[in-house]
Amino acid sequence: MNTSIQKRRLALFAFFFIPGLSMASWVTRTPAIRDSLGVSIAEMGAVLFGLSVGSMTGILSAGALVDRFGTRKVMFTGLCFIILSLATLALGVAIASPLTVALGLAFFGLGVGGAEIAVNMDGAEVERITGKHLLHALHGCFSLGTVFGALIGIALNALHFPVSLHMALIALVCIPVMVTAIRHIPVRSAVQNDEGTHADGKAGYSRVWKEPVVLLIGFIVLAMALAEGAANDWLPLLMVDEYGFSPTAGSTVFLGFAIAMTLGRFGGGLLLNRYGRATVVAASAVTGAAGIAIVIFASHPALAAVAVILWGLGASLGFPVALSAAGDSGPNGAARVKIVAVAGYVAFLVGPPLLGFVGEEYGLRYAMIVVLVLVALATFCAPAIHRRGVGAKPVEA
């Protein structure tokens, strides 16, 4: 592998790590943020709805922006919004303004919704160039970022460190990483189709999104991304409100989830090579559904906390593996990756805030039944993602 590709891979790793670090930084402080704002679960769901608004804007505009400017500019702009979001969150908590916190989350959703679709498209292009699995490791870097963010958040929760200063410090750390890494992404980088032209035209999309295989892959991504996003947004609060954990202990449970996600994603290459995509995703969905079910129905807090490990392991591979499968499920791979990525990020960023409204009515535990049903159904869709090898090279770990 040549040096430029190696540096490009490292840059993409950094661009997944930053959102993971940023998200875990505020997720682990959600009990403290909720208390600072003095809001209920439903009101916290309304604050998180800012994330949904920003996410939908970023997700729906990402394709057109990549077509016009290339993935590099979209990545960079999205990451700038993520850093701006942390600064806005810091301000919102400092002045105890739910509206300002919602605006900060909107900036975060806008940044992640745009940047991560561009990073996934660039990662899919690198997969085709190198003939090696990459997307599961890229998403592993997101999970690794959540581990570091959770560790920091747990420590600062225990120290009662000001949330505003915490968010500001994370923003400052991310800036030099972003500025250094962006130089290694080609200026006009964008995923192309097999004929070497951009595959993002309306005609291409109108054909691709109607294909049954793309719809099935999209459903898998939607279900597994929602399982990940629901834990990221609500797990600490679920453990605090439903099982009586302290904020520090609730964040520690989230750390267990993040570690399980990270191990699952970085270990995924070996499993994929040995058992294939369909088997791995089916087993992941079963494992994730078992973990979520135990968290919902457990009679003892310790059992629920341990089951989070199954939830994390089960949710770890579905999203990135299905994205890889979309790229080689037929011609016009760019359109396929983008459509499936949109489904995933809608579920990951928009779905969890909506669960807050269900949680206010029935409790956060029972709101997770929605996630459980979708993940269980994804098991039956797994055969759709077996490798078809359309224009693909042999894949190595």
Structure tokens at 293: 């079910």
User: What pTM was estimated for this model as a whole?
Assistant: 0.75
User: pLDDT tens-digit profile of 179-233?
Assistant: 999 998 887 655 444 444 444 445 555 566 667 887 888 899 999 999 988 998 8
Q: Could you identify the residue written with the tokens 């077996």? A: 386
Q: Which range has highest mean pLDDT (41-50, 148-157, 372-381)?
A: 372-381
Structure tokens at 248: 């520090």
Q: Check if the beta carbon of residue 15 is closer than 8 Å to that of residue 115.
A: yes
Which of 16, 223, 225 lies closest to 126 in space, CA to CA? 16
User: What's the one-letter identity of residue 252?
Assistant: T
User: What's the one-letter identity of residue 249?
Assistant: A
- Residue-level pLDDT at 189: 54
Would the pLDDT of 338 be above 70? yes
Which of 219, 274, 270 lies closest to 385 in space, CA to CA? 219
> What mean pLDDT is reported for the chain?
83
Task: Name the more confident of 227 and 42.
Answer: 227
What is d(CA 165, CA 179) in angstroms, rounded to the nearest whole number? 22
Give the number of other Cβ atoms within 10 Å of residue 119's Cβ: 30
- The burial class, CB within 10 Å (0-12 / 13-18 / 19+), for 136 is buried
User: pLDDT tens-digit profile of 69-117?
Assistant: 888 899 999 999 999 999 999 999 999 999 999 999 999 989 988 888 8
- Residue-level pLDDT at 329: 64
Structure tokens at 392: 């693909």
